[in-house]
Structure formats: C-alpha cells, structure tokens
Amino acid sequence: MNRSVLISGAGIAGPSLAYWLGRHGDRVTVVEQAPGPRASGSAVDFRGDQLALLTRMGVLEKIREAQTGMGDQVIVNAAGRRRSAYPAAVFSGEVEIDRADLARILHDHSAPHAEYVFGDRVTAMTQHADGVDVTFARGAARRYDIVVGADGLHSAVRGLTFGAGHTHYLGYHAASFEVANTFGLDHSGVIHNAPNRYVGVASARDAGRAIVSLMFATPEPAYRRDDLDGQKSLLARHFADVGWRTPELLAALRDVTELYFAPLSQVRLDRWSSGRVVLLGDAAWCAGPGGNGTGHAMLGAYTLAGELARAGHETAFARYEEVMRPPVTKSQKFAAGAGKHLAPPTEKAIRRRDRTFRVLSSRPMTGLLTWLSTRTADTGELTDYPLPAVTG
Ligand SMILES: Cc1cc2nc3c(=O)[nH]c(=O)nc-3n(C[C@H](O)[C@H](O)[C@H](O)COP(=O)(O)OP(=O)(O)OC[C@H]3O[C@@H](n4cnc5c(N)ncnc54)[C@H](O)[C@@H]3O)c2cc1C
C-alpha cells in the first residue's frame, strides 16, 4: 500500500506489525524508548491455533530452536516437600520461549522490512486530514500516514490519544529476574506460596541460570517506574516473612540489574482507534497473566496489517477491531482471576487449589486440563491476506 507508518514500541506487537506491514509494501519506522531489544521477562508460550500464525510468519522454526522445553512445575510447601504440580501443558503451552528471545527473533525477522530507532519516544502528535505530525524526544519531527501505539501497558500513544485512566488495577504486582540456578532445576520449576504471595523459580535452556517470578497482592503501591532500588525494597518488604528458599532469592535480588516489575492491570477501551492513530497489543487490551498477551498481540498485528492492505484506514481499523474484540474480551475475563489463582489469599485456599490440581493433573484428567488452558488461545482459522509477490 506504500503508506508511511510509525510504530511506537519494539516489544512483541511492534516488531510483528513491522514485519507484516513491510511485507504488504508499507514504509515502516519503529521507535523504541529502550536502547535496544529488552532482555528481561520470564517465559511466554503459544498454544492451539496460535501455532498456525507463527508458521505463516516464518518464525516457528526459530522459536522452536530457542524453546525452553520446560517440564512440569512442582508446588512445594515451606519444607520443600511436593504438594501438587502444574503440568507443562498448563504453564508452558505447546511451545514456550523466554520473552527476551522472542523479542530478539521478532526484531531480527522484521528488521529488513522496517527502520528501527532505539532510545527515542513520541512526545506529541497532531492529526490532520492527510497525516499525523509527530514530534520526538530526540529525533526530528516527521509526518506519517498512520501512527500505531504498540507501546505496552503504559502506552504513551494511548495517553496522547485517549487521555489517562484506561487501566484497571487487578490488585497484584508481578516481578521477574534472573539468578544462578542453585536449585538443581533441569527444564523444571518449583513454586511456593504464602497467603497472597507466589514465588516461582524455573530453569530450562541455560542450566546455570534460573528465572524467578514473584507475585503479591497489594493495594496499588507508590513507586517510580524507573526506580530499581525502590522496586527491590517493595519486593523485599512484601516477601520478608515467606519461607522455603525465599530469603536466598531476596538476597540475590539485591545484585540484580534487570528487573521486570509491573502491576497486573487490564487496559479497557471502548475503541482502539481515533482518526489515523490505532492501538495494538497490551497498549489496547492488556489482559494480565494467562490472557494470551503475546499470542493476541501477534494475531492483532497480522490482522491490522492485512486489513490495512485491503482498505482505507477507517474501514481497516473497524474490521481489525471486529476480529480482535471477541478473543480479547474472552481472555480478559479469564485473566481477571489469575492473581487469586496463583497467589491464593489464605492457607486454606492454597490447599484447596493444590488439591484441585492434584486431581486435574492425574492422567485421566490431563486432556480436560489441556483443553481448558488452550480454550482462550483458539481463535479459529486465520484470514488469508495475500502478500504482494517478492521482486528482485
Ligand atoms: C521488559 C518486559 C518484560 C516482560 N516480561 C513479562 C513477563 O515476564 N511475563 C508476562 O506475562 N509478560 C511480560 N511482559 C509483557 C508481555 O511482553 C506483553 O504482555 C505481550 O507480549 C504483548 O506485547 P506488547 O508488544 O503489546 O507489549 P510489551 O511487550 O510490553 O512491549 C511494549 C514496548 O514498548 C516500549 N515502550 C513503552 N513506552 C514507550 C514509549 N513511550 N515510546 C517508545 N517505546 C515505548 C517498551 O519498552 C516495550 O519494548 C513484559 C514486557 C516487557 C516490556
């Protein structure tokens, strides 16, 4: 179509969209505030119909080469004794990959089709009938036909277009960071709970390293997003009385330089576009854990680019929203209960969840459990959006 498109955010949604728009013949710029593809975060997974999209995009093999191969995750008590387990199909889907590896693969796959600008961000946008004038914190101002906010939960493009107040806090915060694998984990994970708290440690491809995931219930705490020490202190305070090997993990946290720390929040908007500006991925519909954030971001990118190749932006944005609204609504409903499931509020509730999983993960029930965990990822057959022939 040869439109000029600015994408804000080089996480998962941004590079996926850059690839598809580039393949459809658009001129794409991706602006990312971080100095390069970001290296933190725990694993993300794909299941069910999502695998067909990875095949069509040509990244399934690369993802399989880097997959974690994670097995079951065992739930232990404070003494380290097994209480129950999450089977791999529940936590890790059919293919699981560290978020950082996925972000790198998608960046490399899309780089020939787009211009990447790291270390910059959008500061203002003015819409006109025939384009959007954009100013940046560092680079020169430019005009684009379309601007896409793929800049995550705290999207600046969303703020500039729709104003503040579209995030709904779910009552939990989550964090992840890397430590040395002193747990003897081999493609496996261990989980321990105290009321309202979740501690998970998992190690897969790199036997020397483990990823720690923490989650805790809290009224919305006050901290700055760029204050690493403040975030570490919050974690240390909330997990100070948690047993098992949590004190060791808190000690290791003191030296961590890359920490993912985020609220469990959902983004809820009546519409995802306004004029020539449109939102994609977490910026538009962040659901929370178990909400297919990664799969839906990639499906949304495919759909948005495909619809833009078929029609003018107004029709394309409406059609994109028609396709993505139902799966996103289903995932948001499912993910709203994830915090309470992962970090139950009382000892009694923890024991009840563990008992349920002991039954569900027994052999005759595993089919049901796999079906349950794949349900929100199944979005049906992909719409076919023919790509122009490659020349030269
Ligand atoms: C570092 C990181 C770690 C994560 N770890 C986990 C995890 O462990 N578990 C989990 O479930 N989900 C995690 N997520 C969220 C997960 O990646 C998303 O839910 C999902 O993949 C949808 O991707 P997205 O591209 O819409 O958003 P994101 O993956 O959040 O990507 C948004 C991108 O936009 C960039 N950005 C933000 N603001 C601006 C701005 N003003 N200008 C330019 N760029 C901007 C961000 O740096 C980021 O690269 C993580 C996200 C990030 C950024």
**Atom 52, ligand 1: residue with shortest CA distance:** 41
CA 103 – CA 113 distance, rounded (Å) = 16
CA 83 – CA 94 distance, rounded (Å) = 25
Ligand 1 centroid distance, CA of 114 (Å): 19
Task: For residues 4-21, give the mean pLDDT.
Answer: 98
The model carries a pTM of 0.92
- The full set of domain ranges for the chain reads 4-69+95-167+266-336, 170-264+341-371
pLDDT confidence bin for 205, thresholds 50/70/90: confident
Least confidently predicted of 41-55, 263-277, 362-376 = 362-376
pLDDT confidence bin for 222, thresholds 50/70/90: confident
Whether 374 lines ligand 1, by a CB cut-off of 6 Å, is no
Torsion of CA 277, 32, 298, 284, to 10 degrees: -40
Whether 93 and 70 have beta carbons less than 8 Å apart is answered as no
CA distances in angstroms from 379 to 53, 120, 275, 375, listed in the order given: 11, 35, 28, 9
Q: Which of 33, 46, 211 has the most ligand 1 atoms within 8 A of CB, as the residue to mutate?
A: 33
Mean pLDDT, the chain, whole residue set: 93
**Sequence-separated (6 or more) residues with CB below 8 Å from residue 331:** 285, 287, 290, 291, 292, 296, 376
Closest CA to 75 of 194, 217, 253: 194
pLDDT confidence bin for 20, thresholds 50/70/90: very high
CA distances in angstroms from 105 to 53, 57, 59, 276, 298, listed in the order given: 15, 12, 8, 29, 13
Least confidently predicted of 46-50, 60-64, 312-316, 360-364 = 360-364
Ligand 1 centroid distance, CA of 83 (Å): 33
Give first-to-last CA distance, the chain, whole Å: 18
The CATH number given to 4-69+95-167+266-336 is 3.50.50.60
pLDDT confidence bin for 369, thresholds 50/70/90: low
pLDDT at 18 over 90: yes
Least confidently predicted of 315-324, 343-352, 368-377 = 368-377
How does pLDDT run across 232-285, given as a tens digit for each residue?
A: 999 999 999 999 999 999 999 999 999 999 999 999 999 999 999 999 999 999
Torsion of CA 164, 275, 322, 339, to 10 degrees: -20
286 CA: nearest ligand 1 atom: 19
Ligand 1 centroid distance, CA of 260 (Å): 10
Tokens of 71: 């097995």
DSSP 53-97: HHHHHT-HHHHHHT------EEEE-TTS-EEEEE-HHHHT-SEEE
State the sign of the Cα–Cα–Cα–Cα dihedral 32, 335, 165, 239. negative
Class of CATH domain 170-264+341-371:
alpha beta
Whether 96 lines ligand 1, by a CB cut-off of 6 Å, is no
Of the two residues 273 and 92, the one the predictor is more confident about is: 273
- Coil, strand or helix: which one is 1? coil
pLDDT at 4: 98
CA distances in angstroms from 358 to 174, 190, 369, listed in the order given: 25, 15, 11
